[in-house]
Structure formats: structure tokens, C-alpha cells
């Protein structure tokens, strides 16, 4: 019995007319998300990153050589406002992890690219991140993980 079970028992006693099963599912997901975020933040912090800076560098890295995207492409992948992205890019550029240069295909636009320093950092950070994710999910066997992934994908699909 976990904390969510105890909360559900209290609601069942206080409001037996309510079906609180979804509260349990969503409550557990919320608590689990908090633990997962905390675990990932430890890895990001160990590499002098936060979730936002990791996201930008990882997006550029997985774009493949030459590791460049337009600001609009970065915004689309990150789902943040242009002001938020500009702030992230300013900090990453100041740290020497990215460069901005004119887009040869669009004279008015820019390309954001990883520097060698940025590529090295994100390669180290993403390796540690993936190892950490394996550790955080190791309680599930392969079949449980596949089932959970399928169910979460089905559920997420109703929102996206």
C-alpha cells in the first residue's frame, strides 16, 4: 500500500459516491514524474546543464551532422515560445556550446549549430542520461516496459 492508496481510502470513506480510480492513476503518475524529473535533473546538473539547456543541445545533436537547425525548428521540437528559446540560446552561446550564423538558404534567417565543445558536452551528458534512465526503469521487466509504453502511447495519443 502506497501513499496514493491511503489517499484513495480517505476519499472512499469521505465520498463513497465518487469513483476515485482515475485519481489513483493520475496521482501515481504525478508522483512518479516528480521522482523521474528529480533523477534526471541530477544528471543534467552534474554536466552543468538544466533540462532546458539539455533539451536544446540534445535536439541539435540528434539532428545529425552538421548539427544545425533554424530557431523555428528548435522551437517546434521544444514547444516553447520564441522569447524562451532566445533566452536559452543566449545562455548556451555565452557558454560556448552553440553558434549562430546566417542561413545561406535564407539571408534573413539564422542557423543554430553545436560547437565542438557543445557536441562533446551533450555526448557525455546524453550517455549519462540514458544510463540513468535505464537505472530508473530497471524495476520493470521487458514485457512490463513494453506494455507500459504501449498503454502510455495510447493514452498520450488522445491528447496529441
129-152 per-position pLDDT tens digit: 999 999 999 999 999 999 999 999
Instruction: Report the candidate in 26, 90, 5, 6 with the shortest Cα–Cα distance to residue 53.
Output: 90
pLDDT beyond 80 at 107: no
User: What is the topology classification, in CATH, of domain 49-160?
Assistant: Arc Repressor Mutant, subunit A (1.10.10)
- Grid cell, residue 62, equals 540528434
Q: Are 90 and 111 in contact (CB under 8 A)?
A: no
Q: Is 67 left (phi over 0), alpha (psi -120 to 50) or beta?
A: left
- What's the mean per-residue pLDDT of the chain? 95
In this structure, the dihedral spanned by the alpha carbons of residues 36, 40, 41 and 45, taken in order and rounded to 10 degrees, is 160
Angle (nearest 5°) at CA 122 between 61 and 90: 85
d(CA 71, CA 147): 36
Strand, coil or helix: 134: helix
3-state helix, strand, coil in the chain (%, to 5): 70, 10, 20
Domain parsing of the chain, residue ranges = 49-160
pTM here is 0.87
**Residue 82: predicted pLDDT:** 84
Amino acid at each position: 500500500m502506497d501513499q496514493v492508496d491511503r489517499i484513495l481510502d480517505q476519499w472512499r470513506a469521505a465520498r463513497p459516491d465518487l469513483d476515485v480510480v482515475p485519481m489513483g492513476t493520475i496521482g501515481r503518475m504525478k508522483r512518479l514524474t516528480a521522482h523521474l524529473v528529480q533523477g534526471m535533473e541530477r544528471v543534467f546538473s552534474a554536466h552543468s546543464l538544466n533540462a532546458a539547456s539539455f533539451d536544446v543541445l540534445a535536439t541539435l545533436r540528434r539532428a545529425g551532422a552538421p548539427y544545425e537547425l533554424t530557431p523555428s525548428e528548435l522551437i517546434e521540437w521544444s514547444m516553447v515560445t520564441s522569447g524562451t528559446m532566445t533566452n536559452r540560446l543566449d545562455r548556451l552561446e555565452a557558454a560556448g556550446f552553440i553558434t549562430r550564423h546566417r542561413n545561406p538558404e535564407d539571408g534573413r534567417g539564422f542557423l543554430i549549430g553545436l560547437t565542438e565543445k557543445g557536441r562533446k558536452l551533450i555526448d557525455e551528458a546524453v550517455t549519462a542520461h540514458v544510463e540513468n534512465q535505464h537505472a530508473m526503469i530497471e524495476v520493470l521487466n521487458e514485457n512490463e516496459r513494453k506494455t507500459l509504453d504501449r498503454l502510455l502511447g495510447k493514452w498520450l495519443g488522445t491528447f496529441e
